[in-house]
């Protein structure tokens, strides 16, 4: 995307249903960095899960609830309560390998977590400094993987 200006169209080569295609995709300005062009795509990897999981995301857009969803699924399916009675809030894009990636809007999310009465806020490592600026007593725990998040919850 380097060299692409917001509003320009980019050409992508994709594989859909086993066939390669070329598609034109529009871009827009990033909310966090307006000179940077971004585009939205949905990648649907083929996953075979041992249970059916459905999450109604309502009005949520973007990937920043990935870590929270993953932790909730583990909590619901696992034998123990992973939050140990604490009010845990989490944000972060989660990749298939379990890595947790930076998200936008950390100021608003930190203030929201604080106002919701959270005890702990799990955030991507890259967002920790920004979250601490608005924590006002809220415990910020930076994580870079799902395993780190689970460990942080297990060890308090």
Segment 46-69, tens digit of pLDDT: 777 788 888 888 877 788 999 999
Residue 90 in domain: yes
Instruction: Cite the active site residues.
Output: 64, 109
Both 134 and 76 in one domain: the answer is yes
- Classify strands 37-38 and 28-29 as parallel, antiparallel or unpaired: antiparallel
Both 31 and 77 in one domain: the answer is no
Number of structural domains in the chain: 2
| Rounded Cα–Cα distance for residues 131 and 129 (Å) | 5
Q: Give the chain's length.
A: 156
Residue 60 in domain: no
Residue 54 in domain: no
Both 82 and 34 in one domain: the answer is no
Both 82 and 117 in one domain: the answer is yes
Residue 2 in domain: yes
Segment 91-135, tens digit of pLDDT: 999 999 999 999 999 999 999 999 999 999 999 999 999 999 999
Residue 50 in domain: no
The domain containing residue 146 runs over which residues?
66-155
| Rounded Cα–Cα distance for residues 40 and 25 (Å) | 9
Rounded to two decimals, the pTM is: 0.69
User: What CATH number did the domain enclosing 79 receive?
Assistant: 3.30.230.10
């Amino acid at each position: 995307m380097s060299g692409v200006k917001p509003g320009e169209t980019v050409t992508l080569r994709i594989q859909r249903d086993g066939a390669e295609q070329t598609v034109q995709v529009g871009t827009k300005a990033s909310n966090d960095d307006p000179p940077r062009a971004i585009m939205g795509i949905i990648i649907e990897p083929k996953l075979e899960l041992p249970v059916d999981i459905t999450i109604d995301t309502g009005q949520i857009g973007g990937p920043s609830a990935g870590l929270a969803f993953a932790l909730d699924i583990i909590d619901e399916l696992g034998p123990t309560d992973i939050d140990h009675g604490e009010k845990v809030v989490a944000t972060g894009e989660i990749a298939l390998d379990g890595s947790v990636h930076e998200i936008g809007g950390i100021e608003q999310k930190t203030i929201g977590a604080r106002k919701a009465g959270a005890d702990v806020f799990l955030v991507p490592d890259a967002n920790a400094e920004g979250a601490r600026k608005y924590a006002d007593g809220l415990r910020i725990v930076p994580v870079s993987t799902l395993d780190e998040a689970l460990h942080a919850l297990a060890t308090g």
